[in-house]
Structure 1
Amino acid sequence: MNWQIPAILGGTALVLLLVLWAVWEFVASAENRRLIAARSALAQAEYNASTPLATLDARLRRTEWGSRLARRLARSGTDLRPATFVAALVSGSLLAVVVVWQILAPFFGLLAAAGVAFLFFTYLRRAEAKRREEFTGQLPDLARVLGNATSAGLALPTAVAIAADELDGPAGEELGRMAESMKLGASFEEAISDLRERMPSRELGVLLSTLVVASRSGGSLVTALRNISSTLESRKETRREVKTILSETTSTVWALGFMSVGALFMINAISPGVMRTMTSTGAGIAVLLVVAALFAIGFALVSRITRFKM
């Protein structure tokens, strides 16, 4: 018990320091935005690159894990940088450790930190999936716009630029990146490869393969795009129906998970200190680990069962 109080105080102090650092960053950036208003764009970029958060972001991007995280954040459509994501993850984990440690027991504080990390990466994964679904839903319109542009005699790079202006949401943004990369000297095949890496899906793979074949060997691209557009439209309706059917199961799994966590706090509120007493013995810790493992296995199995690919 003597070592718990300094640990709790140290964790609280560290969380407060992180919060104060975030407030200082916000105030300093707000003050410097007024000073930079009259400067050139180069001076503003140099200032943005000299902040501690930008330095941490640059170091993270040089690592394999950081570059992979940056790609995932870009695919999710969020404006967060890897350094911001990591800082929020660490702050949330420390805060969860301090709060749960003090309310329940030190054992649950460690589990809370793992739970916060799981929630952060689950949110990132769902954001990626949501943006990918939105992009897939726009593929019929994309094929239709490309078909109309090519039927008017326009080249594929020009048709892509027109589609980027015509479409909203993730499709317009991704096609805009593709058009910009081709303006900077990338070939059509390289731009398509980058787009397929950012938005992996079977529907997009079929559409892009058709475009690559047409750019290399020619053929009736207009007819192919119109056929693909009608096929993608029917697949879009099927995906929506399957997702609606499976949404009830996934919502139930998440509800059970949050209810189990709430049950721990409720039991501890009814009998104060029971969780701390339970985690003071090896048998109690073993029971809790078995229960946590069963919940994790059940969640993983349901997630795998409800995952579908078309």
Structure 2
Amino acid sequence: MTWQFAAILGGLAVVLALVLWALWEFAVSAEQRRLIASRSALAEAEYRASTPSARLDAAIHRTQWGARLHRRITRSGAEIRLSTFVVGLTGGSLLAVVVVWQVLAPFFGLLAAAGVAFLFFSYLNRAQAKRREEFTAQLPDLARVLGNATSAGLALPTAVAMAAEELDGPAGEELGRMAEQMKLGASFEESVQDLRERMPSRELGVLLSTLVVSSRSGGSLVTALRNISTTLENRKETRREVQTILSETTSTVWALGFMSVGALFLINAIEPGIMRAMTTSAAGIAVLLVVAALFTVGFTLVSRITKFDL
């Protein structure tokens, strides 16, 4: 029990250190906020780059997994720093280990850390899917704006820049990034390919392929964009109906998952120490692993069944 108590104290010390670091960051930023307003843009940029959060961001981004995580956060549109996400993930995992270790058993403490990581990355996946859906919903308006711009005689790069100003986010943000890339010397096809990687979608692929073909060989782009706009509008309504039908199933799966976790605490509250005793025997651990595996398989199957691509 001595080493368990030492591990709990160590975990609490790390969590306390992370909380104090976050409070210190907040206090420093609040103190400097009024000074930033009087500084020049260059001085403000230098100040932001010199903060501990910015240095931690740079250190994490230099690693391969940090760069991939930064791309995922950017694609999700979440307004959260890379360092904040990593610190929150680490602190949440440690806190879950300490609490669940003490309340249930060490075995569940490790599972709780994995569960916290799963929730964090599930949030990123859902935010990325939501942003992609919002972007797809704006494609009919995008095709309409591009069609009007090209019918007025504007070139495609100019039409893209105008669409970036006309549309709200996320389409306006992504098109603005695409326009900036072309201003910095990237070709239209390179900018299109980069947009496809950030926003993978069949509807966007059809629209961008039409634009690329038109930029290469010409043709009646206005008529094609108007036809695509009508088609995308119909697909948008179909996707909305399918999502409404499947939303009940996905919500039920998540509800069952949280109910299963709550059932563990409820059983342990009714019979104190039963979970700790269960994890001390090989048979008990085997039963728990089988149950966890069955739930994971069921969750994965339901997720794949409810996933659709129109």
CA distance in 2, matches of 1:184, 1:121: 33
Question: Do structure 1's residue 49 and structure 2's residue 49 form an aligned pair?
Answer: yes
Give how far 1:293 is off.
0.9
The one-letter amino acid paired with 2:305 is I
CA distance in 1, matches of 2:64, 2:240: 36
**Match of 2:308, SS?**
coil
Give how far 1:32 is off.
2.0
- The answer to which of 62-71 and 289-298 deviates more is 62-71
Alignment of 1:151-162 (within 5 A): 151-162=151-162
Question: Which residue pairs with 2:148 in the alignment?
Answer: 148
The one-letter amino acid paired with 1:187 is S
The one-letter amino acid paired with 1:136 is T
Question: Which residue pairs with 2:90 in the alignment?
Answer: 90
Give how far 1:260 is off.
0.4
Question: Which residue pairs with 2:74 in the alignment?
Answer: 74
Give how far 1:184 is off.
1.7
Question: Which residue pairs with 1:32 in the alignment?
Answer: 32
Give how far 1:240 is off.
0.9
Question: Do structure 1's residue 23 and structure 2's residue 23 form an aligned pair?
Answer: yes
Question: Which residue pairs with 2:204 in the alignment?
Answer: 204
CA distance in 2, matches of 1:14, 1:208: 49
CA distance in 1, matches of 2:111, 2:118: 10
Note the aligned Cα RMSD (angstroms): 1.1
CA distance in 2, matches of 1:230, 1:238: 13
Runs of 4+ in 1 over 3 A off after TM superposition: none
**Match of 1:285, SS?**
helix
Give how far 1:247 is off.
1.0
Give how far 1:86 is off.
0.7
Give how far 1:33 is off.
2.4
- The answer to which of 292-301 and 78-87 deviates more is 78-87
Alignment of 1:121-270 (within 5 A): 121-270=121-270
Structure 2: gaps (5+ residues) = none
Give how far 1:52 is off.
2.2
Question: Which residue pairs with 2:282 in the alignment?
Answer: 282
Give how far 1:37 is off.
3.1
CA distance in 1, matches of 2:198, 2:59: 22
Deviations 1:73-120 (A, max 9, x none): 111111212221111100111111111111111111110000000000
Give how far 1:153 is off.
0.8
Question: Do structure 1's residue 60 and structure 2's residue 60 form an aligned pair?
Answer: yes
Deviations 1:154-184 (A, max 9, x none): 1111111111111112011111111111122
Aligned residues with identical type, % of pairs: 81
Give how far 1:148 is off.
0.6
Question: Do structure 1's residue 296 and structure 2's residue 296 form an aligned pair?
Answer: yes
Question: Do structure 1's residue 3 and structure 2's residue 3 form an aligned pair?
Answer: yes
Give how far 1:197 is off.
1.0
Give how far 1:31 is off.
1.1
